Amino acid sequence: MEIRALIIDDEPLARNVILEYSKRINNLTIVEACEDAVQAIEILGNTNIDLLFLDINMPMLSGISFLKTLKNPPLVIFTTAYAEYALESYELNATDYLKKPFSFERFLKAMNKACEQLSLMQAQNKQESTLNKAAPDGYVFIKANKKTYKVNFKDILYVEGLGDYIKIQLRGQHIVTNLTMKKMYDILPSDCFYRIHKSFIISLDNIETIEGNMVQVNKVKLPVGNSYRQDFFQIINKWFPG
């Protein structure tokens, strides 16, 4: 994961220290090194920035005042010679606070925090899109009992594996057909259905409750398999902590 960062510091020596340290971190790219916050405004408006290295005590506009003007700020690591600003910086949800002069080891520790936060944010954004997205208007034709059924994706509650067959549970009825779980999983839209067990695929939009290792869909409790548990609960725990 590449991290695109912006340095905002009025001291040339401080900017150079961060630039030199940054060269030792492969996934960190310094987009620009600015002398003041005003210069940074245009860059933030035109460029995707993941992280700010932000000095606090600067002319015209302090780092803290500048941060308060940003509607959707990137992650921030404050860099300053003044320890008295630490509390206020954390109240602004700063990732870290580096008191000058700081070693590469301390810089690396701050970067590890930033990497962890960015990874979590990306995962949350991805899962938010998945969990909040309504079932699509598409459909699939299923052959069963010498008939061909048109099955709308939005009507599928879950799919259960039955040996060489699968049961597609719909609202008010079910269809048993000669398909493998893998084949059905490939057919279903990946952003709306999730395989929680070797024998179960569920509609994310129709999850009612989750208790222990059981997921309830349409009043039916379905188990989460061992090999699927970590990925599934990693998604769920980010959105329903505790």
Only one residue has tokens 């459909």, namely 139
Radius of gyration (Cα) for the chain, nearest Å?
25
- Count Cβ atoms within 10 A of the Cβ of residue 117 and give its class: 0-12 exposed, 13-18 middle, 19 or more buried: middle
Neighbours of 106 (CB within 10 A): 14
pLDDT value at 173 more than 90: yes
| Structural element, H or E, at residue 7 | strand 3-8
Confidence of residue 71 (pLDDT cuts 50, 70, 90): confident
Q: Of the candidates 43, 117, 25, 28, which has an alpha carbon nearest to the alpha carbon of residue 8?
A: 43
Residue 90 CB contacts under 8 Å (≥ 6 apart), including other chains: 97
Give the residue-averaged pLDDT of 61-87: 87
Asked whether the predicted pLDDT for residue 180 surpasses 70, the reply is: yes
The DSSP-derived string for 49-106 is -SEEEEESS-SSS-HHHHHHH-SS--EEEEEES-GGGHHHHHHTT-SEEEESS--HHH
Distance CA 121, CA 123 (A): 5
Question: Among all chains, which residue has been given the structure tokens 């725990």?
Answer: 237
pTM (global) more than 0.75 = no
What pLDDT, on the 0 to 100 scale, is given for residue 52? 97
Give the CA diameter of the chain. Answer: 79
pLDDT of residue 132: 39
> What's the CA gap between 112 and 109, in Å, rounded?
5
The predicted pLDDT at position 130 comes to 42
Mean pLDDT (whole number) for 92-110: 93
DSSP code of 134? P
Neighbouring C-beta atoms of residue 42, cutoff 10 Å:
11
Average pLDDT, the chain: 87
d(CA 68, CA 203): 41
Predicted local distance difference test score (pLDDT) of residue 101: 95
Residue 128: pLDDT band with limits 50, 70, 90: very low
pLDDT digits (tens, 9 = 90+) for 34-64: 998 888 988 898 889 999 999 998 888 889 9
Tokens of 59: 């002319």
For residue 134, is pLDDT > 60?
Answer: no
Higher pLDDT, 88 or 208: 208
Check whether 23 has a pLDDT greater than 90.
Answer: yes
* Tokens read off for 41: 């405004």
Instruction: Calculate mean pLDDT across residues 93-112.
Output: 94
Segment 93-120 mean pLDDT = 93
**How confident is residue 1, by pLDDT bands cut at 50, 70 and 90?**
confident
Residues 174-184: what's their mean pLDDT?
A: 92
What pLDDT is attached to residue 239?
53
The rounded distance, in Å, linking the Cα atoms of 212 and 11 is 54
Question: Rounded mean pLDDT of 177-192?
Answer: 88
